[in-house]
Amino acid sequence: MTIERARALNGLVLLGVMVLFVLGASQLQNDYLVRVIMLIGINILLAVSLALASGFTGVFSLGQIGFMAIGAYASALLTIPPSAKTHTLLPGLPPWLASLDLVRTVGGDLSSLGFSAEAADLVATPIALVIAASSGALFAACVALVVGIPLMRLNGNYVSVATMGFLVIVNAIAINLDTVTRGSRGLGSIPSLSRIWIVYLFVAIAIYVVWRIRASPFGRAMLAQRENVSAAQAMGVDILRTRLLAFVIGAFFSAVAGALWAHMITAVAPAAFYFTYTVNVIVMIVVGGMGSVTGATLGAVLLTLLPELLRGLEGGATIGPFKLPLLFGLSNIILAVTFVLVMIYRRGGLLGDRELPLFWARKGPASKGEAHAQSLPFERHASARIDR
């Protein structure tokens, strides 16, 4: 079997497994489980886009969640019914947006195309969500482009501090632009449009796109400049363009995650999109592997499930004769310790830059022409450090 065929089969099998999983999960009646499964998908989106924007490029962005916030707010403003965004509630909205009823408009268009009323209703919700999420994500991508052109010129710590500044600015705007965001109270009345299959549709797209980028010359350029900026420059890599591409695409999928999150929780507030979430996503890709798509995915799954499992412990538990008291914060402490241990003992994360081997193609599809597969992220800069 040729590698191409194996790879195609791999993809198909993966897709099949995912479809089966989604079909199975969609049958679940337990709302809590459905929510956790959607949350896993959303976190995979965030982790994979952070792996692209930071793990591959070495430009560690602390502003990723800012784009998530932009996606969440922008998409929510599109889908919230006009009755909930009247002039008295949100005076800052332009009239076209205030009167926009995306779900109903899409439904109306569909019935005018000849769909029956029921069919139009059924199809309208997901289409509305896809439109809202994509618009929000495009908006976030534009912001990322504008912000990224100056910021992606910075290196190392400086870019982290600057992107953190971006996050603080987004947060300040969300809190203070009352007339559009309702300040720290946040936006409510967001229609509950997120479904497991829509979430995982985006997950599949994101993984596919990021996977392809990684295997492309662009991906190799990213890894090359991560290892050694000047060497990559000498080889003709356009550093700014390479980083910018990763940053903008990362922002796009983070914003999609934000939109899905908003339409799952049905409310958004500035506090949700701040440092806690930022650190959580960083923990995901650090644990999973900074330069690895499967690693980021694995990290997102593990670190979404872990707190859910530990939550039982926090409420106090009885183990044999011992009664544990309430332990708020315990799950985060365990996460933090795990995180620091991973940083000390496996700096590149569990998988580093490698991909999980899948079925036939033992080395994983992305390993073709992959010179850096074994090296840990950022490792190269280390050797130069002492000479500064």
Number of residues that bind another protein (CB under 8 A): 55
Q: In whole angstroms, give the CA distance from residue 152 to residue 154.
A: 5
Binder among 165, 188, 307, 357 for another protein (CB under 8 A): 165
Looking up tokens 């390993």, which residue turns up?
367
How many residues are given for the chain? 388
What six digits make up the tokens of 189? 């009345």
**Per-residue DSSP letter, 376:** P
Give least dist CB 285 to another protein, A: 10
Window of 105-113, 119-127, 339-347, 360-368 that interacts with another protein by CB under 8 A: 339-347
Contact between 324 and another protein per CB under 8 A = no
Window of 5-13, 23-31, 40-48, 170-178 that interacts with another protein by CB under 8 A: 170-178
Q: Give 120 or 282: the residue with its C-beta nearer to another protein.
A: 282
Q: Give 96 or 328: the residue with its C-beta nearer to another protein.
A: 328
Contact between 282 and another protein per CB under 8 A = yes
Contact between 234 and another protein per CB under 8 A = no
Contact between 8 and another protein per CB under 8 A = no
145 by Cβ neighbours in 10 Å (0-12 / 13-18 / 19+) ranks as middle
- Within 8 A by CB and 6+ apart from 117, the residues are 111
347 by Cβ neighbours in 10 Å (0-12 / 13-18 / 19+) ranks as middle
Contact between 173 and another protein per CB under 8 A = yes
The three-point CA angle 278-279-284 to 5° equals 100
Contact between 323 and another protein per CB under 8 A = no
Alpha helical stretches, state H, 184-320: 196-215, 217-227, 229-234, 239-265, 275-288, 293-314
Binder among 156, 312, 315, 316 for another protein (CB under 8 A): 156
**Per-residue DSSP letter, 53:** I
Residues that bind another protein (CB under 8 A): 58, 60, 150-158, 160-162, 164-166, 168-169, 172-173, 175-176, 229, 233, 239-240, 243, 275, 279, 282-283, 286, 327-330, 332-333, 335-337, 339-340, 343-344, 347, 378-379, 381-382, 385-388
